[in-house]
Structure 1
Amino acid sequence: MCCSLKKELEQNHADTNEKHDTLKTTVSFHSYRNGGISSLICTVITFPVYKTVFRQQLHSTLIRQAVVQLYHEGPLKLYRGVAPPLLMRTLQGTILFGLQNTLLQQLSPWAESYFPKAMHPALAGLGTGVVECFLFTPFERVQNILQNSVNDRSLPTLSKIVGRMRSETLANGWYRAFLPTLTRNALGSSLYFGLKDPLAGLLREKNCSPVASSFISGMVSSLVISLPLYPLTVLVANMQSKVGEDNLGVKASWQKLWQKRQRSLVLLYRGGSLVILRSCITWGITTAIYDQLTKFSS
């Protein structure tokens, strides 16, 4: 009788563990899928704003000048270079949300002995940002080359760019500006996942609707991330958009950029207003869509 009861309890325990593992796998799959869908929608909507910001970062022009420049190039060229970011952002969103959820599940049992539970999402986000950088820096490199109008004649197509990158070393080709990209992505992902859920929770406590809470938390998180990390984004854009010039290191590239901006933070942050707008819209929409998809999937 005792042996039979013991076997039954062990079987029930095994069944419970199996169901728990299945649930975790399902949740992880939903995170990957929902992250990809959210990022895909946002990329299509915000690409013109992104391209305007990129032109400001590259040429240090005013918003009006960048818009006029893109207008004269025509609507067909407006979406020139959209394929790499569309692919990159969709995959990036898939990895960003899915891998963060997976790392969170794997790290939490270990991390709870060393860090408060509230820090676990940020730690998982940090690891996600590192992986993201290794996977997607080549996509960003191609995107920045395509969007620099100086390269229109020498590197007019994606195949030409790929051929040129193959002839370069990894550091000067696919992984140009790797260190600033790694710093930006790791810190950005950590801050985003560390902030968005607590902010949304506070807003819901103030009787804010779930959709509005997610949207505002995404906007505020992006604002906190974008402002201090914006100089890194400008540095990456300038380093990655050029091909065939002197392959300066990070320090020398920063010094050259700082001199080019006349040692002025105002000029360095030119385009910052549109970056804030783009980031707020992008991450507000992405967070709201992702949270709603997650809610419906559960």
Structure 2
Amino acid sequence: MGEQNNSPGKELQHRTRAEAPGKKSWHSQAYALGAVSNFMSTFLTFPIYKVVFRQQIHAMAVSEAVRQLWHEGPQYFYRGIYPPLLSKTLQGTLLFGTYDSLLCFLSPVGPHTLGHRWAAGLMSGVVEAVALSPFERVQNVLQDGRKQARFPSTFSILKEFNSYGLWGRLSLGYYRGFWPVLARNSLGSALYFSFKDPIQDGLAEQGLPHWVPALVSGSVNGTITCLVLYPLIVLVANMQSHIGWQNMPSLWASAQDVWNTRGRKLLLIYRGGSLVILRSSVTWGLTTAIHDFLQRKSRSRKELKTD
């Protein structure tokens, strides 16, 4: 019973301490587990995401966003799901895999301190931002209802981006809004990994079923991270919805525009935040619980083989 309540963080520390000092181990399994857990949670929570995005772009109430999607018809409801499904699967692969590798590189024999977890989380968020910004950019254009006629498919967006010069493809095309994405992802990853294990460990000591600490830990981390970084989330959505050479505001101009259009009120910046918090809480709760479940199953199979 005691072994079942060990958190993934403690199990990782026990595993790394058992390895020879200086031995490099990239734990390829962490990449696979991250991919599967993020794929499943993204598929389950996509309907919430679609409503949230409309709120961020149009600053409308939940009921209005739902009504807008309803009027567009069911054939458009899952429009834009493939980029986030692919990007979130890659995100899980990079986020969990890179974090695990970097953590073991920073502290090969453990124990892993808060500083180690923060640094590994921060760097894994940087890798994630560099690799996945193009996917998010295409996804945000696809989900903007104002651009359905001009850009009916992913191919049409890629064709537009590829018509620019090299620098234009990066700054105006695939990596539009990169700096707020970088800040959001690196800080979000650092916060998530820094506090996931301590929360999970504390709950596991209460004798709860092993899936409860993982679910609660992921939900709490997702909620806190979302609250702290929500203004960046809104800024990214608005910056990446722009397309074309004309009327492409700078980062500062985009931030000012979001602030002005929200009436210079922080409360209006957080409009739509309730659903974002719900989505983040559910998504990261499910992701953490699924990841923990798959990790336990994989470890159990290995132990059976060694017996």
TM-score for both structures, normalised by structure 1 = 0.89
Task: Report the Cα offset of residue 111 of structure 1.
Answer: 10
The partner residue of 2:148 within 126, 129, 152 is: 152
Cα deviation digits, residues 39-78 of structure 1 (max 9, x gap): 1111111111001000000000000000111111122211
Identity %: 47
Partners of 1:193 and 1:82 lie apart in 2 by: 27
Unaligned runs of 5+ in 2: 1-17, 300-307
Secondary structure of 2:79's partner? coil
Q: Bigger CA drift: 101-110 or 127-136?
A: 101-110
Equivalent AA in structure 2 for residue 183 of structure 1:
A
- Report deviation, 1:296: 1.6
In the other structure, the counterpart of 1:287 is: 288
Cα 1:282/1:17, change in 2 over 3 Å: closer
Q: Which range is displaced more, 166-175 or 274-283?
A: 166-175
Q: CA RMSD, aligned part only?
A: 2.0
Identify the residue that residue 167 of structure 1 maps to in structure 2.
163
- The amino acid that maps onto 2:196 is K
CA contact (8 A) 2:31 2:96 kept: yes
- 1:248 is aligned to 249
Q: Matched residues in 1 for 2:114 and 2:256: separation?
A: 38
Q: Which whole-Å deviations, capped at 9, do the CAs of 1:257-282 have from their partners, x for residues lacking one?
A: 11111101121111100001100110
- Residue 122 of structure 2: aligned partner: 126
Letter in 1 for 2:248: N
CA distance in 2, matches of 1:187, 1:37: 23
State the distance in 2 between where 1:208 and 1:249 align.
Answer: 50
Structure 1 residue 17: Cα displacement = 7.0
Aligned residue number for residue 184 of structure 1 = 184
Residue of structure 2 in register with 1:7 after alignment: none
Alignment of 1:1-298 (within 5 A): 24-25=25-26, 28-109=27-108, 117-168=113-164, 169=168, 170-244=170-244, 245-298=246-299
Aligned to 2:4: none
- Cα contact 2:38–2:92 (8 A) shared by 1: yes
* Distance (whole Å) between structure 2 residues aligned to residue 107 and residue 62 of structure 1: 45
SS across alignment from 1:188: helix
What TM-score do the two structures reach when normalised by structure 2?
0.86
Pairwise CA distance, 1:146: 0.2
Equivalent-residue separation in structure 1 for 2:296 and 2:116 (angstroms)? 21
5+ residue gaps, structure 1, are 1-15
SS at match of 2:173: coil
> Which stretches of structure 1, 4 residues or more, deviate above 4 A after TM superposition?
109-112
Question: Secondary structure of the residue that 1:171 maps to in structure 2?
Answer: helix
